[in-house]
Structure formats: C-alpha cells, structure tokens
Chain A
Amino acid sequence: MEKVLEVSNLTRVFKEKNKQDFTAVSHVDFCLYEGECLGIIGESGSGKSTTVNMITRLIEPTDGTIILEGEDITHKKGKQLRNIYKKMQMVFQSPVESFDPRRTLGDGIAESLKNNGYSKKEASKAVERVLEKCGLDGSFALKYPHEVSGGQCQRAAIARALAITPSLLICDEATSALDVTIQKEIIELLRSLRENHDRKLSILFICHDLALVQDFCDRVIVMHDGVIVEQGKPDEIIKNPQNDYTKRLIDSVL
C-alpha cells in the first residue's frame, strides 16, 4: 500500500525565556497508508496537537522530516507551502471559532477553491455541492458561523476541508466539542465521506475517546509526554496493552 504521510524523528522543543526548554513532541515516527484511518490518543498535554500542527506546518518542527505523498514538505515556504494544502486539510476542535465571524460559511469554504483558480461562479457551485455532500442545505453558504449550531458548523468545516478534495484529512478532536448524538452524526458523515470521496481519503484522527477510536480507526497510536508509547490495531491494544501508560488509560475509561 502507498504511504500518504510519513513522519520521522519529528521533534518540537518550546523555548521560553527564564524557563527550561520544554520538549512537547520527541522523536515521533509513524506513517499513514492510503485510505487508512489512523487514530492518535493520549491524555491532555501529550503533544497530539503539536504533532499535527507540525505536519500542517502551522508550527515549525525543531527536528525531523514530514513526507506527504512522497514529497518532503518539512521546509516548504511561501507558494510551495500553500500548494501542499491542496493535498492536506484539517478540521479543528471548535467549529464556530474556525470560521471568520465576519464572513459567511460559504466564503470560508470557497476560500481554498478561489485560491486554486476557481471563478466566483464555479466556486459557489462547488460550495453548494460539497455542503450537500456533508448533509447541509446549499443555503447554509449564506449563513454566518454564529447563526448555525455547533454540529452544523462542524459539517461546514468538514465541507471546507474537503472542498478541494485533499488526500489527507486531519481531525484534531473534531468531535470533542459536540454533544454525543452530534458526535455520532459527524462520525457517520466522515465514514460515508471516506467511502464516497473523489479520491482515496486518508484520515489522521485525534481523539480522547477510546471507544470512538476503536469504532472508527484502522490503527491507533498512543502518545504520552510527547512520545509514542504504543501503536497497533485498536482492538488489540485495548485487549492486550503492552505499555503501562496504555493500561492505565484503558482502565480509566472502563
């Protein structure tokens, strides 16, 4: 199987004045195969967000390499960096805050399309299509983020991420801020999108919820204090955890 994403030796050290350097992520290696859904779990502060923010290049890695579809993107800058966002998109934890309060959801979804040469007309048609694909009426394009519910907004955020048909979708606790029934709906949506995406969609799925990971992910990574402590199939890890930390994590849920 083809590797969509390959991360090796990824490290991030936060340097702060008058404080000791803090290593949030340390020597992280993993890869993600085409069409796969890889979960990352770990307690708060274990470095999950830092890891994916390095992958999306929203924060700079201190060390390591990130290879996306065979291309080293660790040091891409400017226009080249903007181009990689055609292949990689992200859904954030707080749906409402992830849209500019002064612009409509449609504007937000169309932004990536317009940056990639769509005309206004083409973009608005594509926005309608992708909204419908994500279970929202086309009229949602004209709404502002504060005018819709959290679940609807997260659907719009997923629509935004998928509008330019990326091959990698990163969800950083995309369901954590939603209530349980809406969480289920969003997971079902992601599942159906995986099946009906125009190209093979791989997902990097960060989550606190072990059950959700077990249900949705093909493989899972357990992180603790910035290091990967265990990885494998969710069922196997839950049944037979090798690492002490993982055992405690599972015990605390069950």
Chain B
Amino acid sequence: MSTPTIRKQKVKRTSVKTRLIIFGTLAALLLIGSIFSSHLTPYDPYLQDLSNAKAAPSMEHLLGTDRYGRDMLSRVIIGSRTSIYSTLLLVAIITAFGTAVGVICGWFGKWIDVILMRISDMFLAFPGLVFALAVAGVLGGGLQNAIIALAAISWPKYARIARSQTLAQKETVYLRAAKLSGSSTVKIIFKHILPNIIGPILVTSMLDIGTMMMELAGLSFLGLGAKPPTAEWGSMMSDTRSLITIVPWVTLAPGIAIFISVMIFNLLGDTIRDYADPKNREVRG
C-alpha cells in the first residue's frame, strides 16, 4: 500500500514545483512587461487617428482600433502598467497595514487589541462597493481614491491572520528564550515573530492580487477608478461598452487582458499556498 502513496506524493511534488516555475515565470513576464510597457507598444497608445477609427483587427493593428482610431494593442499594453501597478500597490498597502495592526493587537493585547479589532470589524462590515461609492462621493473619483476605498475594506483580513499568528507565536518557548536573551519588543517582533508569520500572510496576498485586480477594474468600470483617457483595463471596457455589438474587440481586448492576468496571479497564489503547505513541505524534505 505504501508504494502507491509515495509515488503519488512524488508526482504531486514535481507538479507543485513545475507549476511554481510556470506561473512564477508568467507573472514575472507580466510584471516586466508592464515595467517596460512604454517601449513595447507598437503605436502611441494616445495618438488619435479618426480616419482609421473602429478598424477591425488586421496585420497592422492586431487588436484593431477604438472609436478614436487609437491602436488597441498599444492601449492594452500600456494599460497593464496602471492596472498591475495599482493592484500591487493596493495589495502591498493592505498587507503591510493589516499585518502591522494584527501584530500590535496580538502582542500588546488588552485595550489596544479590543479597540483596533472593533475598528477592523467596522470596516469588515461595510459592503465593498457601497463603501467605494461613499469614498468616491466624499473624496471624488479617481484611481487613488479607488485604492483608498479598497484598502480600507480589505486590510482587516490581514489584521486577523497576523493577530492569530502572533498569539500563537507568543506561546512558543523560543519567544520566552528570546525575552530571556534581553531582546526588546521591537527586536522580538522583527527577528522572531514576523519571519515566522509572514509565510501564510504572503500566501493570502498572492491570492488577493487577482481579486483586487478585478475589484479595481470593476470600480474603474463604474467610473470610480481610473478616468479616461488614462489607459486602464477596467475603464477601457466601460468606455467602449456601447460599441460592443459593433466593434467587439475594443471591449474584449482589455477584458481578456484582465482575465489572463487575474488567472496567472490566482494560479500563482494557489501554487504558493500548496508549496507553503506543511504537508508538501515534508515531501520536499
């Protein structure tokens, strides 16, 4: 009975590693592509050419042109920068802020914990879209405010994970040993707690990249995020949605770009979660 199990684990192990390499490479390509996006565009993404508006995909314009005659491929490529950057920025903000709050709550406990956790519950209780609408209403639309709105409702999840992980760390013998070594609270948090809790938190961040990309695009689609003419996938879709029956490529191109990027980041997140799973770690040896 034992042989098939071992074989099965072996197959799983290589597949996790292979997946990690494949999706890691794809995500890296996406990131590098977005960094150098301004050099990769075949045409100026903002250059209008009304004589060639709504052109169908051709060898010249692989994804056709929009109603102002702008090259769609160039706009999708340049749009990656806004879409991917703002998503990564958003995820970085909520990860850092949520983790900081969670560690503080878990470590200090008492009233600090009670107050901060009640506040995080409040944010958790808001329906995301309603909150974004409210923020847009107060601060005005725009990508920056969309990021603020999404960050405000997304950090509590990280605070909860970090808090429970910190509480578990506090019970460990090695933390008591660290205290006895005369390490200050700051040192203990940065040298012992964070390195030991960051794994599961980063897995959550990876899984969130796809979700956040969708939500940001969604807000932009509703006109609460990036504003035209800035090339951003969500607002590009919204901008052109009335044309979908006439020139479907202008709506579909950014949609497919969102779909592919979200897929890549979600699959990478899943893979990293599998990789970080202690059950797989044992097999890794």
A contact set with B: CB distance below 8 Å: 56, 58, 79, 82-83, 85-86, 89-90, 92, 94, 97-103, 108, 111-112, 115-116, 157, 160
Contact = CB atoms under 8 A, between A and B. Distances in A.
A111 B196 contact: no
A97 B177 CA distance: 10
B246 interface: no
B196 A116 contact: no
30 contacts: A58-B176, A58-B179, A58-B180, A79-B184, A82-B182, A82-B183, A82-B184, A85-B180, A85-B182, A86-B182, A92-B176, A92-B177, A98-B174, A99-B174, A100-B192, A100-B195, A101-B174, A102-B195, A102-B196, A103-B191, A108-B174, A111-B182, A111-B191, A112-B180, A112-B182, A115-B181, A115-B184, A116-B182, A157-B177, A160-B177
Q: Which label, helix, strand, loop or mixed, suits the secondary structure of the B interface?
A: helix
Interface string B163-186: 000000000111011111111100
Given A100-B174, A100-B192, A101-B196, A115 B179 contact: no
Contacts of A85: 179-182
Contacts of B180: 56, 58, 85, 89-90, 112
A94 B174 CA distance: 10
Nearest to B198: A102
Nearest 5 pairs of A and B residues by beta carbon? A112-B181, A111-B181, A82-B182, A115-B182, A97-B173
A94 B182 contact: no
Contacts of A86: 182
B41 to A, nearest CB: 44
Given A92-B176, A102-B195, A112-B182, 20 more contacts: A58-B176, A58-B180, A85-B179, A85-B181, A85-B182, A89-B180, A90-B180, A97-B174, A98-B174, A99-B174, A99-B177, A100-B174, A100-B178, A101-B174, A103-B195, A108-B174, A108-B181, A115-B181, A115-B183, A115-B187
Interface residues of B, number: 17
A116 B183 CA distance: 9
Contacts of B182: 82-83, 85-86, 111-112, 115-116
Given A83-B182, A85-B182, A98 B195 contact: no
B193 to A, nearest CB: 10
Indicate the member of B174, B184, B196 with the most A CB atoms within 10 Å.
Answer: B174
A98 B183 contact: no
Contacts, number: 63
A85 B182 CA distance: 6
Indicate the member of A94, A98, A108 with the most B CB atoms within 10 Å.
Answer: A98
Nearest to B174: A100
A83 B184 CA distance: 11
Given A82-B184, A115-B182, A116-B182, A98 B177 contact: yes
A229 to B, nearest CB: 28
Interface in B134-175: 172-174
A111 B181 CA distance: 6
A79 B182 CA distance: 8
A111 to B, nearest CB: 4
Contact of B178 (A101, A111, A157): A111
A100 B196 CA distance: 9
Contacts of A98: 173-174, 176-177
A155 to B, nearest CB: 15
A97 B175 CA distance: 10
A247 B182 CA distance: 41
Contacts of A89: 180
Contacts of B184: 79, 82, 115
A86 B176 CA distance: 15
A79 to B, nearest CB: 8
